[in-house]
Chain A
């Protein structure tokens, strides 16, 4: 059984994570997923890949807190958060949020809140590998 909170180098399977979340409760009438991917451009410049730096132990603690807070605040049945690190090529997936609830509204709201809060609270950093050179990403308000 896959852990619901993970940081990993390898890619993830959205279908597999949906299947896992459905195992936790037969009451789920809605499963919402958010997938973040590497764009091949940024500020008009070509991007080849993104490299992530991580404070893994603290990041996992922050992600677990996100999960607990989301379940408690939005009354969802379960949340899964998987984030990749290392070098991720343009077009590949970076992060996956899966929120399962009895009804769609809570699932949408929990998934939305999770990705917004992850960006602010989880110690991860990304560097864009450009066509020429590289640059650390400065977080922008979403």
Chain B
């Protein structure tokens, strides 16, 4: 299972914080992003479609293969301070 966590605008729009996905086949960060877009086209369209993705709290290449237990965060542009 891969845990997807949503933050800020994305969590609000999706009305949930977490989504889990079964890894039935090899998936990369890019294919997971594509799946997320199909889950709800509205999620990732905020801020002009601009969002950041972190794998286990670090940036990673889109081609990175996901493994069981990974945590993927979909994040709007940061707005602290």
Contacts and interface: CB of A to CB of B under 8 A. Distances in A.
A124 B11 CA distance: 13
Interface stretch (A8-16, A20-28, A54-62, A69-77): A54-62
B80 A126 contact: yes
Interface residues of A, number: 27
Given A53-B7, A125-B8, A136-B9, A95 B75 contact: no
Contacts of A59: 80
Contacts of A126: 79-80
Nearest to A138: B47
A119 B81 contact: yes
A83 interface: yes
A115 B47 contact: no
Contacts of B8: 53, 125, 127, 136
B73 A119 contact: no
A136 B51 CA distance: 14
Nearest to B77: A139
A5 interface: no
A127 B79 CA distance: 9
A119 B78 contact: yes
A91 interface: no
Contacts of A54: 7
B57 interface: yes
Nearest to A126: B79
Given A125-B9, A136-B12, A57 B57 contact: yes
Given A53-B8, A55-B5, A125-B8, A138 B57 contact: no
B42 interface: no
Interface of B: 5, 7-9, 11-12, 46-47, 54, 57, 73, 75-81
Given A94-B81, A123-B78, 17 more contacts: A53-B7, A53-B8, A119-B79, A119-B80, A119-B81, A122-B81, A123-B7, A124-B79, A125-B9, A125-B75, A126-B79, A127-B8, A136-B8, A136-B76, A136-B79, A137-B79, A139-B79
